[in-house]
Amino acid sequence: MERTKSRRTSERKAPEPLNIDYPAMMDEILNMPGDVGNAYNRFRRYSLLNQALLMSQGVAEPINTFRGWQELGRQVQKGSKAKFIIRPITIKRENDKGEEEQFMRFKPVNCLFTVSETEGDDLPEYEPPEWSEKRALGALAINRVAYEGLDGNVAGYSYERNVAVSPVAPYPFKTLMHELGHVVLGHTAADAHAEYTQHRGIAEFQAEATAYLVLNELGATDQMDASVSRGYVQSWLSGEKPDDKAIRAVFSTTDKIVRAGLESVDHSTSRDH
């Protein structure tokens, strides 16, 4: 749907959101088929021991093998030093009876490289027309901080009034909206941790549904895979049906995020849905 243009050219009007049908879009999120595919398992997950070993080597960003980075379209830079982890190896030998036996041992293997040690064709930073991330973060009093984490399958995270997006997130703009949703919905407040933990399925539904609606509202649906997003929501809900209060909170949060990034918008007003 196109934005309605003002007939008065002498007076500049503030841009308005696209007026999508929120209830219909919510029905789509909850009921249309979705499939997360391999969106959240592109990277191998390592044991707590190996995570500790990597952190002791100063690693605080996504890691992968040489071949793993190649499969993602990135090349390890010349001169990069591989980080080591402990890997199991199988040793075969004959016992006193001449029978072959197998033994499992562990040895350090230098095989992992950080994303900052790679190069490739990075996607350009995306920002919708007339909507500004800087303006939105300022209006919402939220900080964007550097991503620190080893797991490349975690696209982003949020805490208190801070959000971080992984440098290898497949859809970084959608991830940013998801994490903004968590903060605006109040999931990251200090006194909300127990509630979030107890009802995480609903919280993740709310954050992802917010991102889904925001991208539709801003005409940025090419910045996400709608099927993966629906699959994410439906997986977290596991058949649970969100109540009207939870859904209304998504509508309100979507409106706040969209309007926060638009220029010269009166943030004291919002649409009713």
Ordered by start, the domain boundaries in the chain are: 22-41+124-261, 48-118
State the pLDDT at residue 9. 33
pTM of the entire predicted model: 0.80
State the pLDDT at residue 267. 46
What residues in the chain have per-residue pLDDT under 50?
1-15, 265, 267, 269-270, 272
Q: What is the pLDDT of residues 139-171, one digit of tens each?
A: 999 999 999 999 989 999 999 999 999 999 999
Long-range contacts (CB closer than 8 Å, 24 or more residues apart) made by 244-253: 246/202, 246/205, 246/206, 247/26, 248/273, 249/185, 249/206, 250/26, 250/181, 250/185, 250/206, 250/209, 250/210, 250/213, 251/22, 251/26, 251/213, 253/181, 253/184, 253/185, 253/206, 253/210
State the pLDDT at residue 264. 64
Question: Angle, nearest 10°, between helix axes 172-184 and 133-140?
Answer: 10
